[in-house]
Amino acid sequence: MHFYIFLIKRYLGGRGNKIFSSNAWLSFIGVFIGCSLLVVVLSVFNGFQQQIRESIFKFDPHIIIETRKGPGKIDDWKDWRSTIKANLGDLVSNVSGMIQSPALIRKDDQIDQVLIRGVEYAEDITNKTRYVLPNDFPKNVEPTNLKGVPKGDYCLVGKELGTLLDLHVGDYIQLIVPKGQFTTRVGVEPGMKSYTISGFFASGNYQYDSRVILLSLPTAQGLFGTGDTVQQLAVKLTKFSDLKKVMLELYKILPYDFSPRSIEQEHRNLFSALKWEKIIMTVIVFLFIIAALVGIIVSTSNVIRSKRKDIGILKALGASDQEILIVFTMIGFLSGLVGTIFGVAFGIFLSMRLEWLIGTLEKIANTLGSFYCEHVSACYWVKVELMPRDVYYFDHMPVSIDASLLHPLAVLAIFLAGMAALIPAWAAGKLQPAEIIRSSDT
Amino acid sequence: MNSILSVKNIKKSYRDGEVTVNVIHDINMELARGDFVSIQGASGAGKSTFLSILGAILLPDSGTITINGKNLEDYSREGKIHEYRKNHIGFIFQSHYLMPDFTAMENVMIPLLMRGIKNQAAKQKAMEILSKVGLKERANHYPSQLSGGESQRVAVARAVAPEPDIVLADEPTGNLDSHNKKIFIQVLEDLQKSRDLTVLVVTHEQDLAAAAGRRYFMKDGYLSQM
């Protein structure tokens, strides 16, 4: 063991017992950068995925039950709500009636297309004129202390829609919806009604925040003129992991006329795209690590080439093939090991400070750019935004460090570093002292 | 005679294209503990090849080499030729062949560490030998900071430190000036006598050959005692 440590320490650090020789630094830096990038990319992708998931899962019911013909009327929805609650018990946190339909919004001269969602709010027992907002309702609302909605002709509007149409709390809007039965004589009769905006919500999902208007279920029923019926039953689960189990139970409980649809089925394409995006990015970044491993092969080969005479001497002194193999494999392996550990640690640090880093880079780019335009060339500097908020619709950089994924990747990177070093070290172990000494003499 | 090394009917040839060149012809030799033997001969006579065969750097075509009762062929068959070199042989080459990234002391320590001796003990022993060859003050110098004569004395210390059964020296004074040659011969003689070393030296040098108790001459691969 002393023999190995003695040689590895010197070949890794060179004379003067430095930490790394130039060759070892080459291996270290390659793996370090690769691992750091891998951690940052995976953390950002995880964060994006989680943010999108959360924004959808928080706002949407986990399961929607409709009639098999599509969003038609469910007359006996209260009975079915009780049946589902009784059968599924603690598996579900809430079962409620819901109406969801496209509509037109009119504010002064502006008309836009929106989606109306009529949801069941709980009664406020302290104030009979109000509903209480559910606990999982998006926190980011205006006014910020909004806890409930007044009963009657009031609505909650998506924050982005409010910005687009310049809406404010207390403003009146008109909603135009198809009403009644379709007839060949007049088609569908439109229903139109005015509502007061009681607040704005921000789910974190641009699609919802720019399109959805929330009404209480009785208000929505009044608008569509459906009486005490709903189009859908909305199920929220206590634990999302029970989704499959609950779906199976619902298939058992519900008659054939009803069709339950899970949130995963609803957003299958999006989640599938996110998953594939993450896999592809992981593969791409892992290819960078593979390139770094080629660096380990090259640098270990360099060390072996420069120490060829030493290998001949060591073998003439009695070192075995295996001892030479271990010494030179360990040199590459240790560079990879240290590179991976520091790379992962730096990647985690970078991920945690990514928002600050992006902000700083933006500031530097904008300062330099405006200085250039003002003092060097007469031009107009367009402000650089590395993470445009209106495109990505996140008020912060969503980063989620997934240790369960990083751990196997780091272990794999370390293992591959050892394998990469093994290739040239194997050849070193097979060198014959006679050949080396003869070639050194000439 | 209590034989340490027994060489019987050793032959070695090389293929040079179509031609087979016989380098060593039927060499026999017995070495006992404490023997100091020299082999002289012209360049190309086969001296270095013979020495390489004794050090298991080359293997003979035929014949047997027995060291302390164990046949070299057995080591080869068991894939443990390195054990033969490590446990029985100390090498001194014409060029000192010190490892440039290691100090004089570290170079001497390497064969000791290779034999499983712990770091501190190896250091102590290396210093002791370096003192004997007059290089205590130069122990922490790298080979590039040592003169040719000093480097060759470090090479002697390295060969002798693990107390091998035989020290093989191939033209050890070939690259030294007359002053350093004298010092080297003196050092080798002193160590051989004080430690009862078995030394086989291949040389052109009359002075070094004369220091040996038994002298051989090699011509065209044939060995004869002088």
- Write the Ramachandran bin of A399: left for phi over 0, alpha for psi from -120 to 50, otherwise beta: beta
**Which domains does chain B possess?**
3-96+164-225 (3.40.50.300)
Q: What is the C-alpha separation between B161 and A363, in angstroms, rounded?
A: 66
CA distance A19 to A440: 29
pLDDT tens track, chain B, 226 positions: 578 888 888 898 888 778 888 888 888 888 888 888 889 888 888 888 888 888 888 888 888 888 888 888 888 888 888 888 888 888 888 777 888 888 999 999 999 998 888 889 999 989 988 888 888 888 889 988 988 888 888 888 888 888 888 888 888 887 777 887 888 788 878 888 888 888 898 888 888 888 888 898 888 888 888 7
For residue A197, what are the β-bridge partners?
A: A155
For B167, the 3-state DSSP assignment is strand
b/e code A421-435 from CB counts within 10 Å (16+ = b): bbebbeebbebebbe
Of A215, A247, A202, give the one whose Cα is nearest residue A62.
Answer: A247
> What whole-number distance in Å separates Cα of residue B194 and Cα of residue B212?
15
Set of chain A residues whose Cβ sits within 8 Å of the Cβ of B102:
10
Span A200-245, pLDDT tens digits: 988 877 888 889 999 999 999 888 888 888 988 999 888 888 888 9
> B156 — phi, psi (to 5°)?
-65, -45
Half-sphere exposure in the Cβ direction for A331 (13 Å, CA): 38
Q: Chain B: give the shortest CA distance to residue A427, in Å.
A: 17
Residue B2 CA from chain centroid, whole number:
20
CA pair distance B6, A435, nearest whole angstrom: 26
CA distance A364 to A354: 15
Chain A closest CA to B80's CA: distance in Å?
Answer: 8
Helix, strand or coil, per DSSP, at residue A162: helix
Is-contact A362 A368, C-beta < 8 A? Answer: no
The pLDDT tens digits for A237-292 are 888 888 889 999 999 988 888 889 998 888 888 878 887 887 887 788 778 778 87
Using CB atoms, pick whichever of B58, B94, B101 lies closest to residue A434. Answer: B58
Beta strands in A184-231 (DSSP E): 187-201, 212-216
CA distance B182 to chain A (A): 24
- How confident is the model over B61-90, as pLDDT tens digits? 888 888 888 888 888 888 888 888 888 888
Residue B99, both tokens: 């490892």
How many beta-carbon pairs below 8 A join chains A and B?
Answer: 80
Q: How far apart are CA B202 and CA B216, in angstroms?
A: 9
Residue of A1, A310, A316, A318 whose CA lies nearest to B80: A318
- What average pLDDT does this structure show over A25-36? 84
Minimum CA–CA partner of A318 in chain B = B86
Residue matched to tokens 């946190």: A93
Inspect the interface and report whether the beta carbons of A6 and B87 lie closer than 8 Å.
Answer: no
CA atoms of A120 and A361, how far apart (whole Å):
46
Strand partners, B12: B24
A391-400 per-position pLDDT tens digit:
666 667 788 8
Beta bridge pairs of residue B15: B20
Res A115 pLDDT > 90: yes
Are B202 and B169 contacting, i.e. CB atoms less than 8 angstroms apart? yes
Compute the distance between CA of residue B3 and CA of residue B102 in angstroms, rounded to an integer: 36
**Which one-letter DSSP state was computed for residue A89?**
G
A394 and A301 in contact (C-beta within 8 Å)? no
Cβ-based contacts of B57 with chain A (< 8 Å): 316, 433-434, 437
Q: In this structure, are residues B48 and B61 in contact, taking their beta carbons and an 8 Å threshold? A: no
Longest dimension (CA), chain A: 107
The crossing angle, in degrees rounded to 10, of helices B104-114 and A308-317 is: 50
The model's confidence at residue A432, banded by pLDDT at 50, 70 and 90, is confident
Q: What are phi and psi of A210, to 5 degrees?
A: -100, 0
Q: B86 vs A316: CB contact, 8 Å cut-off?
A: no
- The partner residues of A95 in beta bridges, in order of sequence, read A235
Mean pLDDT, rounded, for A411-431? 86
pLDDT at A104: 92
Q: How many CA atoms lie within 13 A of A141 on its CB side?
A: 21
Alpha-carbon distance of B11 to B221, in angstroms, equals 9
For residue A130, the 8-state DSSP code is E
Looking at the partner chain, which of A7, A317, A434 has a beta carbon nearest the beta carbon of B111? A317
Q: Do A319 and B86 touch (CB under 8 A)?
A: yes
Going by their DSSP bridges, the two strands B36-41 and B62-67 should be labelled as: unpaired
B83 touching chain A per CB within 8 A: yes
| Inter-residue contact A316 to B85 (CB < 8 Å) | yes
CB contact at 8 A, B63 and B23: no
Residues of A within 8 A of B142 (CB-CB) are 15
Query: What's at A263, amino acid-wise?
Result: I
* Residues of chain A positioned with their CB less than 8 A from the CB of B50: none
Strands (E), A254-344: 258-262
Q: List chain A residues with CB under 8 Å of B82.
A: 315, 318-321, 323
Q: What is the DSSP track for A342-376?
A: HHHHHHHHHHHTHHHHHHHHHHHHHHHHHHIIIII
Strands B3-16 and B214-219: unpaired
Residues of B in contact with A3 (CB under 8 A): 110, 113-114, 116
**CA–CA separation, B47 and B202 (whole Å):** 6
